[in-house]
Amino acid sequence: MDELGLFPLGIVLLPTEQLPLHIFEDRYKDLIEECLEADTEFGLVYADDEALRDVGTRARVVEVLTRFEDGRLNILIEGGDRFRLEELTDGRSFQTGRVVPVEDTDDPADSGAVDEVLQVFDKLREVTGSEVDVPGSATPQLSFALAAKVELPVDAKLELLREVSERRRVELVHDLLENAVLTAQRVRRAAERAATNGRVDLG
């Protein structure tokens, strides 16, 4: 069981997902500077008014984007392995906790499901006009690689973090992407109608 410095935030970080963070509190400046100096990871855990969640993601600083004179930092982080938070510990300026890895069961997605989820992802790219790269079908934990490229609700991301079956995660991501396609299509149709004041152009 490892002890890990924790960064509670109102966001969920998925494995492979990259996010920018603005570091301004002294305790988190300490945490990030320590990680930079030792080339170590910290744990990002979703927190709200209720409590810390029991599952989180190891995060590594990919790049320091800006250093301010007062010690604040803009950084880019990337999600790594998942962990389960067993207990909180103290003694540091920042929150720490004892964690254990979250490991997948031997339940891979079949090739048909992989092809389908990639097709839906490509459809979403088309509808939104996105140029984001499409992960290859052999990408390890493809479910996370796809979900990390889409804006998803917190509850959905937490469900993905907790799920230990890649087969089930691919199914969940497929459904989430299909809903995203429908939403994007509705937004695009509404924008097209607004551009014509709701009237059909007869030339």
What band does 190 get if pLDDT is binned at 50, 70 and 90? confident
Last residue of a domain, one of 101, 130, 145: 101
88 and 44 share one domain: yes
DSSP-assigned states of every residue in 26-83: HHHHHHHHHHHHHT--EEEEEE-SS-EEEEEEEEEEEEEEEE-TTS-EEEEEEEEEEE
> How far out from the chain centre does Cα 33 lie?
23
SS3 state of residue 86: strand
Q: Are the C-beta atoms of 83 and 46 separated by less than 8 Å?
A: no
Last residue of a domain, one of 48, 68, 101: 101
CA distances from 91 to 6, 7, 37, 55, 96 (A): 13, 15, 20, 22, 8
Q: Are the C-beta atoms of 158 and 25 separated by less than 8 Å?
A: no
Range of the structural domain that residue 143 is part of: 111-195
How many structural domains does the chain have? 2
Nearest to 191 by CA among 127, 123, 130, 131: 127
Mean pLDDT throughout 64-93? 96
Q: 192 vs 67, which has greater pLDDT?
A: 67
The mean predicted confidence, pLDDT, of the chain is: 93
Q: Residue 202: its pLDDT value, please?
A: 42
Last residue of a domain, one of 67, 101, 135: 101
| pLDDT, tens digit (0-9, with 9 covering 90-100), for 147-179 | 999 999 999 999 999 999 999 999 999 999 999
Instruction: Please give the biggest Cα pair distance in the chain.
Output: 73
Q: Determine the Cα–Cα distance for residues 169 and 154; give it in Å rounded to an integer.
A: 15
For the chain, percent of residues with pLDDT exceeding 70: 96
Q: Are the C-beta atoms of 82 and 55 separated by less than 8 Å?
A: yes
The backbone region for 84, taken as left when phi is positive above 0, alpha when psi lies in -120 to 50, beta otherwise, is beta
Is residue 106, in this structure, part of any structural domain at all? no
Beta-strand pair 18-23/42-47: unpaired
96 and 115 share one domain: no
pLDDT above 70 (res 70): yes
Mean pLDDT throughout 117-133? 94
Query: Which CATH number do you get for residue 95?
Result: 2.30.130.40
91 and 134 share one domain: no
Mean pLDDT throughout 29-46? 97
pLDDT above 90 (res 82): yes
pLDDT above 80 (res 111): yes
Q: Are the C-beta atoms of 174 and 146 separated by less than 8 Å?
A: no
What band does 203 get if pLDDT is binned at 50, 70 and 90? very low
Q: Residue 187: its pLDDT value, please?
A: 83
Mean pLDDT throughout 134-155? 95
150 and 70 share one domain: no
